[in-house]
């Protein structure tokens, strides 16, 4: 447009001041939109993280009167934590718990979604039943589990009736089983999450490539692995990553049901940090531990975000291309 | 023996229903157990063999837990017959207020992201860190900070952290709805002389009303059932329902399954109603723009 005519100098100046004031107004508007977020970072997150840093380099327990009198101890606390075998085991347990329950949720969720993504009689009914566990408060899951899992409880009893032999498993008190029980509860609680995401993903796959493959005589098996799974990659990644991160943070069920026991069988990272801080009152050690876990999680989250962004970009590109093709075909 | 095509189809259909029904039983049985336990008289809570249907069903558990019938007033259970109605009120106020704030500020931010790109895509993902880093790593300094500010054991304190931790979901979810509003609508409003704020509040947000409701209910599920932050920030004054439930565990020697179940059912029912209302939108809340159409 600019090259079309040379307008009178007066008008240009007026237009440009208008544009400048408009740009300024837009900038002010953008800033005011951002204000709540800036306030959160300045007033809550920054002070909290600084406090955490302070405690992780100062030796303080609740028995000391004021926390600003605590002695500076440098990186001693971090050394303590990193040489603490209990912390090492907590890391191992957390990773095992998160990996196991993530895979469990994913496999079952995907299987159910695959069985359900095409309309069939009773679909809505099954969908509602399947999402119920996710709509149960985690603490409620823990206490309901306790009502069911004791040695002579209904679960063992029901299994005994069905299988015909005397099934007596101590789900809650056997230290070799407790973490598995916790993971199974997590799977029961959160399979609906993977199920919902995978169902939405399967339903969103364009039909054309599948129909084309069917016409070419490909088996269901091959269509699944060579057409559907590649198209589902972003959704699969999402289901795995989000579930893993949430499982790393799982606290309510494990705490309400086990408090880290029997022995230390269910002492995952959140549990161990909680016990250190609120039962042994070693606030500083808890803070150092928290910092290490936070850094570890930040690394994991950044990698996860990188993966998710890459998938999202390729997905956006695919949809844009499709829209353009549709437009070209329509116009 | 070769099967005909119809036979094979019938077989797959049967197998499908078998798996679905099996999983349905697995998913439903604990919930069934919780519900029937809440109707059991106390000699059936923990009996051998387990009682699969309460006979006779009783409302005692509900009356006792929710309305404080006095039969246990002088026993060990008395400590735990606390104030569930007060907790219900706390939970309601805290969950609704924090969710409202999250959706309000979330949609303002989302509008800015969608129309003015105030956050880059990378920042949008980084925002998720507020949610993805386990809250346990900040609760200790948070509780000290709160005690310095006098926010410990107050509703305001809990509302503030819930607002913070659910904001990322609110932004992502409302953005997915705002992205679907055609820009022409806003341009029309601008030509008619509406200010930017008016355009946002009187044109854009009303257009995505149902999306805002879905986001609200989705976040309500998260704030209603939160446990760890409530455990640390509330002490005695403002315990929420999940905390109230866990008190039944800590303060009693015996197993009071029936009472626990009656409380648990009361906590869970609102959540299930909300979840079933927005069941079609759940995928959107979780999928961060990864699932389309």
User: CA-to-CA distance for B171 and B113, rounded, in angstroms?
Assistant: 9
Strand runs labelled E in A15-167: 58-59, 71-72
Judge whether A326 lies within some domain.
no
Q: What is the DSSP letter of A72?
A: E
User: CA-to-CA distance for B156 and A323, rounded, in angstroms?
Assistant: 47
B147 touches chain A (CB under 8 A): no
Selected residues 166-225 of chain A with any CB under 8 Å from a CB in chain B: 188, 191-193, 196-197, 199-201, 204
- First-to-last alpha carbon distance for chain A, in angstroms, is 26
Selected residues 63-82 of chain A with any CB under 8 Å from a CB in chain B: 67
Chain A residues with beta carbon closer than 8 angstroms to that of B132: 245, 297, 301, 304
pLDDT at residue B251 greater than cutoff 80? no
Q: Which of A291, A256, A244, A296 is closest to A91 using CA atoms?
A: A296
For B287, which residue in chain A has the nearest alpha carbon?
Answer: A197
Judge whether A53 lies within some domain.
no
- pLDDT digits 0-9 by tens, B193-227: 888 888 899 899 999 998 899 899 889 988 998 99
**Residue of B49, B274, B288 with shortest CB distance to A157:** B49
A232 touches chain B (CB under 8 A): no
pLDDT at residue A112 greater than cutoff 50? yes
CB distance A293–B292 less than 8 Å?
no
CB distance B133–A273 less than 8 Å?
no
**Residue of A140, A191, A197 with shortest CB distance to B283:** A197
Over residues B132-154, the mean pLDDT reads 87
For A151, which residue in chain B has the nearest alpha carbon?
Answer: B48
Give A16 or A12, the one with higher predicted confidence: A16
A22 touches chain B (CB under 8 A): no
pLDDT value for B158:
92
pLDDT value for A88:
93
The backbone torsions φ and ψ at residue A71, rounded to the nearest 5 degrees and listed phi first, read -80, 140
Strand runs labelled E in A205-265: none
Q: How far is B249 from chain A (nearest CA, A)?
A: 8
The backbone torsions φ and ψ at residue B193, rounded to the nearest 5 degrees and listed phi first, read 95, 15
- Lowest mean pLDDT across A89-103, B37-51, B132-146: B37-51
Q: Which of B107, B178, B183, B195 is closest to A25 using CA atoms?
A: B195
Q: Which of B228, B244, B50, B293 is closest to A246 using CA atoms?
A: B228
Chain B residues with beta carbon closer than 8 angstroms to that of A122: 17, 20
CB distance B116–A234 less than 8 Å?
no
CB distance A290–B137 less than 8 Å?
yes
pLDDT value for A9:
60
Domain carrying residue A217: 74-320
pLDDT value for B265:
92
Contact A240, A106 (CB under 8 A): yes
- Lowest mean pLDDT across A92-96, A139-143, B72-76, B221-225: B72-76
Phi-psi region of A74 (alpha: psi -120 to 50; beta: other; left: phi over 0): left
- pLDDT digits 0-9 by tens, B108-132: 999 999 988 888 888 888 888 888 8
User: For residue B44, how many other CB atoms are within 10 A of its CB?
Assistant: 18
B125 touches chain A (CB under 8 A): yes
pLDDT value for B117:
87
The backbone torsions φ and ψ at residue A72, rounded to the nearest 5 degrees and listed phi first, read -75, 125
**Residue of B24, B225, B290 with shortest CB distance to A315:** B290
CB distance A130–B290 less than 8 Å?
no
**Residue of B46, B137, B245 with shortest CB distance to A143:** B245
User: CA-to-CA distance for B59 and B30, rounded, in angstroms?
Assistant: 20
Chain A residues with beta carbon closer than 8 angstroms to that of B129: 298, 301
Best interface-test mutation with A: which of B10, B52, B137, B264 has the largest number of A CBs within 10 A?
B137
Which contacts of A121-127 are long-range, i.e. CB under 8 A and separated by 24 or more positions? A122/B17, A122/B20, A126/B20, A126/B24, A127/A199, A127/B279
CA torsion sign for A30, A32, A33, A39 is: positive
For B102, which residue in chain A has the nearest alpha carbon?
Answer: A36
Tell me, what's the ipTM? Answer: 0.87
Q: In percent, how much of chain B has pLDDT > 70?
A: 90
CB distance A147–B34 less than 8 Å?
yes
pLDDT at residue B234 greater than cutoff 90? no
A251, A257, B206 from B117: Cα distances, Å: 36, 45, 21
CB distance A139–B225 less than 8 Å?
yes
Q: How many CB pairs under 8 A join A and B?
A: 257
Identify the band that residue B252 occupies on the pLDDT scale cut at 50, 70 and 90.
very low
Judge whether A209 lies within some domain.
yes
pLDDT value for B133:
84
Contact B170, B107 (CB under 8 A): yes
Over residues B49-63, the mean pLDDT reads 80
The backbone torsions φ and ψ at residue B291, rounded to the nearest 5 degrees and listed phi first, read -115, 125
- Give me chain A's average pLDDT, please: 86
Chain A residues with beta carbon closer than 8 angstroms to that of B125: 305, 308-309
- pLDDT digits 0-9 by tens, A224-238: 888 888 888 888 998
- pLDDT digits 0-9 by tens, A245-265: 989 999 999 998 888 878 888
Q: Could you give the number of structural domains in chain A?
A: 1
Contact B219, B265 (CB under 8 A): no
- pLDDT digits 0-9 by tens, B83-94: 778 888 889 999
CB distance A30–B128 less than 8 Å?
no
pLDDT at residue A4 greater than cutoff 60? no
A41 touches chain B (CB under 8 A): no
User: Is A59 strand, coil or helix?
Assistant: strand
Domain extents in chain B: 14-78, 84-287
Give the domain CATH number at A232.
1.10.3720.10
A131 touches chain B (CB under 8 A): yes
B11 touches chain A (CB under 8 A): no
A248 touches chain B (CB under 8 A): yes
Judge whether A15 lies within some domain.
no
- pLDDT digits 0-9 by tens, A184-235: 999 999 999 999 999 988 988 888 888 888 898 888 888 888 888 888 888 8
Strand runs labelled E in chain A: 58-59, 71-72
**Residue of A45, A200, A287 with shortest CB distance to B140:** A287
User: CA-to-CA distance for A107 and A110, rounded, in angstroms?
Assistant: 5
- pLDDT digits 0-9 by tens, B1-31: 566 778 888 888 888 999 999 999 999 999 9
pLDDT at residue B74 greater than cutoff 60? no
For B163, which residue in chain A has the nearest alpha carbon?
Answer: A40
User: Is B98 strand, coil or helix?
Assistant: helix
User: CA-to-CA distance for B189 and B201, rounded, in angstroms?
Assistant: 12
For B266, which residue in chain A has the nearest alpha carbon?
Answer: A140
The backbone torsions φ and ψ at residue A52, rounded to the nearest 5 degrees and listed phi first, read -60, -45
Contact B203, B141 (CB under 8 A): no
- pLDDT digits 0-9 by tens, A27-57: 888 888 888 888 888 888 889 888 888 888 8
pLDDT at residue A22 greater than cutoff 70? yes
A119, A301, B95 from B5: Cα distances, Å: 20, 49, 54
**Which token pair is A151?**
């040695």
Give B68 or A303, the one with higher predicted confidence: A303
**Residue of A49, A251, A311 with shortest CB distance to B228:** A251
pLDDT at residue B80 greater than cutoff 70? no
Q: In percent, how much of chain A has pLDDT > 90?
A: 26
Q: What is the DSSP letter of A41?
A: I
Confirm or reject CATH 3.40.50.150 for domain B84-287, answering yes or no.
no
CB distance B145–A47 less than 8 Å?
yes
């Amino acid at each position: 447009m600019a090259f079309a005519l040379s307008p009178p100098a007066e008008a240009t100046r007026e237009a440009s001041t208008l544009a400048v004031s408009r740009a300024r107004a837009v900038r002010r508007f953008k800033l005011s939109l951002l204000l709540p977020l800036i306030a959160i970072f300045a007033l809550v997150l920054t002070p909290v993280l600084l406090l955490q840093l302070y405690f992780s380099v100062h030796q303080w327990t609740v028995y000391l009167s004021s926390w600003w009198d605590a002695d500076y101890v440098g990186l001693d606390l971090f050394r303590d934590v990193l040489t603490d075998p209990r912390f090492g085991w907590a890391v191992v347990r957390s990773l095992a718990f998160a990996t196991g329950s993530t895979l469990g949720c994913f496999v079952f969720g995907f299987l159910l979604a695959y069985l359900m993504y095409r309309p069939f009689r009773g679909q809505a009914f099954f969908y509602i039943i399947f999402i119920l566990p996710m709509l149960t408060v985690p603490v409620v899951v823990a206490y309901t589990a306790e009502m069911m899992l004791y040695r002579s409880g209904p679960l063992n009893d029901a299994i005994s009736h069905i299988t015909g032999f005397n099934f007596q498993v101590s789900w809650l008190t056997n230290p070799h089983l407790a973490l598995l029980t916790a993971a199974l509860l997590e799977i029961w609680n959160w399979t609906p999450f993977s199920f919902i995401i995978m169902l939405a993903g399967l339903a969103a796959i364009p039909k054309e490539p599948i129909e084309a493959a069917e016409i070419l005589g490909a088996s269901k098996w091959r269509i699944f692995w060579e057409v559907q799974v590649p198209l589902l990659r972003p959704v699969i990644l999402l289901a795995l990553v989000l579930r893993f991160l949430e499982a790393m943070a799982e606290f309510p069920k494990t705490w309400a049901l086990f408090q880290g026991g029997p022995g230390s069988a269910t002492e995952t990272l959140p549990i161990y940090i909680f016990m250190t801080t609120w039962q042994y009152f070693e606030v500083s050690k808890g803070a150092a531990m928290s910092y290490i876990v936070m850094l570890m999680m930040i690394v994991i989250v950044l990698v996860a975000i990188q993966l998710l962004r890459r998938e999202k970009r390729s997905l956006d590109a695919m949809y844009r291309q499709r829209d353009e093709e549709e437009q070209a075909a329509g116009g | 023996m070769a099967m005909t095509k119809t036979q094979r189809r019938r077989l797959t259909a049967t197998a499908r229903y078998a798996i679905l029904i099996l999983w349905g039983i697995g998913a439903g049985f604990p919930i069934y157990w919780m519900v029937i336990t809440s109707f059991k008289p106390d000699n059936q809570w923990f009996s051998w063999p387990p009682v699969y249907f309460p006979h006779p069903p009783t409302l005692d558990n509900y009356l006792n837990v929710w309305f404080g019938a006095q039969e246990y007033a002088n026993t060990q259970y008395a400590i735990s017959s606390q104030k569930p109605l007060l907790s219900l009120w706390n939970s309601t106020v805290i969950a609704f207020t924090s969710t409202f704030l999250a959706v309000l500020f979330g949609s303002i931010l989302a509008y800015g992201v969608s129309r003015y790109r105030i956050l880059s895509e990378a920042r949008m993902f980084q925002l998720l860190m507020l949610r993805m880093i386990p809250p346990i790593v900040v609760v200790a300094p948070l509780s000290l900070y709160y005690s310095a500010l006098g926010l410990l054991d107050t509703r305001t304190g809990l509302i503030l952290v819930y607002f913070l931790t659910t904001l990322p979901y609110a932004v992502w979810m409302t953005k997915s709805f705002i992205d679907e509003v055609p820009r022409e609508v806003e341009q029309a409003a601008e030509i008619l002389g509406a200010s930017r704020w008016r355009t946002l509040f009187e044109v854009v947000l009303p257009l995505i009303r149902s999306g805002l409701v879905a986001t609200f209910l989705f976040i309500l599920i998260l704030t209603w059932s939160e446990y760890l932050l409530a455990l640390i920030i509330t002490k005695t004054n403002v315990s929420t329902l999940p905390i109230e439930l866990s008190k039944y565990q800590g303060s009693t020697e015996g197993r009071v399954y029936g009472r626990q179940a009656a409380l648990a059912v009361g906590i869970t029912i609102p959540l299930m109603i909300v979840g079933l209302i927005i069941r079609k939108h759940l995928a959107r809340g979780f999928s961060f723009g990864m699932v389309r159409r």
